[in-house]
Structure 1
């Protein structure tokens, strides 16, 4: 295989793995019925070392893929675009060092941001009472942020190692 195609194979195979993990419900993987947000993890891991345009393309692509797997409402594209905007080139500044702890904190915050965008979509586009939406939002966002952060190292270490090998 040509050296030029190895990064593409790594990216495509890791996204396919995330698709399979999104569709499966393995025991011990969830918390109060909420499973990890694999696409969001992948986007954060990918975007922290990429420029804005690469992050946005990845966010839109993953959002379209996620909507095709789960249904079009609420759309996940908006939340993933916001995450791509916020995480692009995070490690370019001297303030944050790349390690697993900072990655976990970034993923935790971005899950809350994504869940907020989804709750806002429900608030605007449905007739569900706002109190019901925001009470469910609190439970979903906290559980999703905790479980996604806990599973981040499973995706971070192999993907980071494979992508760093390709950069050298």
Structure 2
């Protein structure tokens, strides 16, 4: 009996694909440095690269990008749970997209799975106050919607630059 590969990346690797995956693992750390304020919320764009990794490389790509791409933020904020939360986000976005659910529904479903982890770890393990964590939850929802929409607009084109069909 052969098991179905639900998590693996069924890809024929070459230099372009390795470069793309490496970029999607490293550059979320750079994008995490930049944000803008919207109604008092800090909106980040690093999720865009996590969603791209999930779209192009599946659940494993999303998990790797979420974890490695959150390394700087986790260290800077002394909160390792951030990386695990972003691994949850990227992995589930990739898993849902693998089953052709669509980019925006995948992003929103993965966010719904990530939020309990974020809320519990930030309040009970990182010792943050509930009001602040609730603001983070709202900011992440807005960021994820924006980044999901950006992924929807660009993912197929970016994938076509690196993959021969």
Regarding TM over 0.5, the answer is: yes
Scaled to the shorter chain, the TM-score interval is 0.5 to 0.7
Question: TM-score normalised to the size of structure 1?
Answer: 0.65
Question: TM-score normalised to the size of structure 2?
Answer: 0.66
- TM-aligned CA deviation for residue 83 of structure 1: 2.1
Instruction: For 2:51 and 2:159, locate their aligned partners in 1 and report how far apart those are by CA, in whole Å.
Output: 14
Is 1:36–2:44 an aligned residue pair?
yes
Instruction: For 1:151 and 1:57, locate their aligned partners in 2 and report how far apart those are by CA, in whole Å.
Output: 18
Q: Greater relative contact order (Cα 8 A, min sep 6): structure 1 or 2?
A: 1
Equivalent position to 1:20, from 21, 30, 35: 30
- TM-aligned CA deviation for residue 78 of structure 1: 1.6
The one-character-per-residue Cα deviations of 1:38-70 (angstroms, maximum 9, x if unpaired) are 1x33223322453444443333322334324x3
* Runs of at least 5 residues in structure 1 that lack an aligned partner in the other structure: 97-101
Q: Alignment RMSD, CA only? A: 3.3
Instruction: For 2:111 and 2:98, locate their aligned partners in 1 and report how far apart those are by CA, in whole Å.
Output: 22
Which structure's residues are more often strand, by fraction?
2
Alignment match, 1:99: none
Number of matched residues?
152
Q: 1:159 to 1:14 in 2, by over 3 A?
A: farther
CA contact (8 A) 1:48 1:90 kept: no
Q: Secondary structure at the match of 1:35?
A: strand
